Structure 1
């Protein structure tokens, strides 16, 4: 008998036909064993191939799972935690490379937009809380700072407000113009800043009205001593753009925060004291 083989690899089928009288008797005796051995080898190869395919598939499955997990974590961190610097790590799964590249590129743009927005908000906040002429914090910033001091029981026991109001500033605007008036206001801010230390914060309320929030005040005498120092600095003539000089008088008043429970009562009394001081100066000969 002769053995004719036909391997249909596309469907994985072995077809063989035995033809009589094609082999010698000796070969025919060993033919069944050869067939069994051949089928065993083929079966073993198929089993090995299947096992290898399962291992490869498992590794690919783990890579895909890890990639999807990292992708989900990145989206969660950006959306929920607002971590705009988060990026998706590289993965061995090539099919994910375009997606990860596009997503990381999008995150780059989002982070850049977020940083730009933060910078813009910071500029707007500074504009809202600072005087554009002198650069000092303005009235809104002052009220916020006073409120924080009054809410802090420790700070409230050792703080004070020192108000500085100009008397004849309008005369400078009328005589030399607004440019001269602006130069005087800038110089006032500089003199107050030079006088102030770490325990003093300076604000411009409006026009020629300034205020200092003092901390680490142990006695009322501490406030009076600083008021005297400020008065000496502010009494010096102010240089004007045309080379001339002008003298300005200032009214200085103060209020101790420890005598009040809320910022409203503190500022109300401070306003009344400033008005009374202005009336005394106006009625003075």
Structure 2
């Protein structure tokens, strides 16, 4: 079953979303709480103000009520009402009969929106009744209904200003939160960057830098400890791999390159036409090596082989490759030659070096000689042909060295 490519949010976007939800929720609750508190305070203020207004208006119409001048009473109410201090007013005498009435025209009240009407009914749930007194006696009653349009506009403006302030506060809070999150996100991105690089390159030398956040710092320290263990394991594995490769390409007795390494090196030379023109191959075989094993034992024979290998390595230097095929058979790949005289010079240097006797650990000194043959790489089409030519040359040299019986 194919894996579904699920788009997952980043840690930064998750933090921003959480912060936004928290800020918006908090500000909505604050908006509701402040609005409710403000409206409650405003209601108490409006009721108290309407009562004070009713007391003032009752004194203004007192004379008109005393003289039962309905026209004067209406004029007084209209003059005060047009100032926007109340919505309607009714003056009655002591018997409850209506003396004067004033109210805003219906056209004005019809433009009140439902929300404004709801706010008006909530602020002024009932009219205010104020007795009209003259010389301590009650001569009538004034009934006032509060003006809602002014209060409604004030409520709208207050709520708009409150909403704008809270939106600005939310924006500032989100910006500050985002800046504060930057350190946390940066620390996590550093850790994930190290993990991704290690996964891609398998290099366990990377480390997580210290973090200013305690939990992330502890996590980084634990992760670095794990990387230390992984790096040690990788180093041991590399050492074991190198050791295995060394054993696979080196002769265990002499430390020279073995047949596998020799074959690989020779194939590499012959595959390059330019290198092939300046390469030669030496084949070497010990003279009388069997007699050394028979007379002094295999341990002495191993010492002789190790001494021969050491001297061949000295003659080969860093440019040439000395190899051991097995037994007392050796080979050397000579590269960078200008002519066959350099081959002869190398063979002469090897013979000269072999003239020194090999001193065994028992103190016995043995003379060792090598039969050396060579072949030039440019004269052979394949590696097998080159090796056969060098081998024939070596045996030809060995026949020349062999004593003849008359």
| TM-score, length-scaled by structure 1 | 0.77
Q: What's 1:260 paired with?
A: 380
For the 8 Å contact 2:287–2:368, the answer to whether it is kept is yes
Greater shift in the superposed pair: 133-142 or 150-159: 133-142
- Structure 2 counterpart of 1:214: 334
Q: Deviations over 1:28-81 (max 9, x none)?
A: x9xx8x999987886565334312221134335655665565455433322233
Q: What are the equivalent positions in structure 2 for 1:49-60 lying under 5 Å apart?
A: 49-59=169-179
Q: CA RMSD in A?
A: 3.8
> Counterparts of 1:1-285 in structure 2 under 5 Å?
12-13=33-34, 14-15=36-37, 16-17=40-41, 18-19=43-44, 46-59=166-179, 66=186, 69-88=189-208, 96-97=216-217, 99-275=219-395, 284-285=404-405
Instruction: Give the match's secondary structure for 2:201.
Output: coil
Call closer, same or farther: CA 1:48–1:93 in 2, change over 3 Å: farther
Change in Cα spacing, 1:189 to 1:60, as seen in structure 2 (3 Å) is same
> Alpha-carbon deviation of 1:247?
2.2
The unaligned stretches of length 5 or more in structure 2 are: 1-28, 54-84, 86-150
Q: Is the 8 A contact 2:374 2:391 kept in 1?
A: no
SS of match in other structure, 1:204: strand
* Counterpart-to-counterpart distance in 2, 1:23 and 1:207: 125
* Distance in structure 2 (CA, Å) of the matches to 1:12 and 1:92: 38
| Aligned equivalents of 1:150, 1:195: Cα separation in 2 | 23
Is the contact between residue 374 and residue 389 of structure 2 (CA under 8 Å) also seen in structure 1?
A: no
Larger RCO, structure (CA 8 Å, separation 6 or more):
1
Shift of 1:133: 2.3
Count of equivalent residues: 275
Say if 1:194 and 1:81 are closer, same or farther in 2 by CA, change over 3 A: closer
Q: Deviations over 1:136-175 (max 9, x none)?
A: 2222211111111111222111111112201211211221
> Does the aligned pair in 2 maintain the 1:60–1:93 contact within 8 Å?
no
Aligned partners of 2:373 and 2:392 also within 8 Å: no
Q: Max radius of gyration: which structure?
A: 2
State TM-score, norm by structure 2.
0.56
DSSP 3-state at the match of 1:12: helix
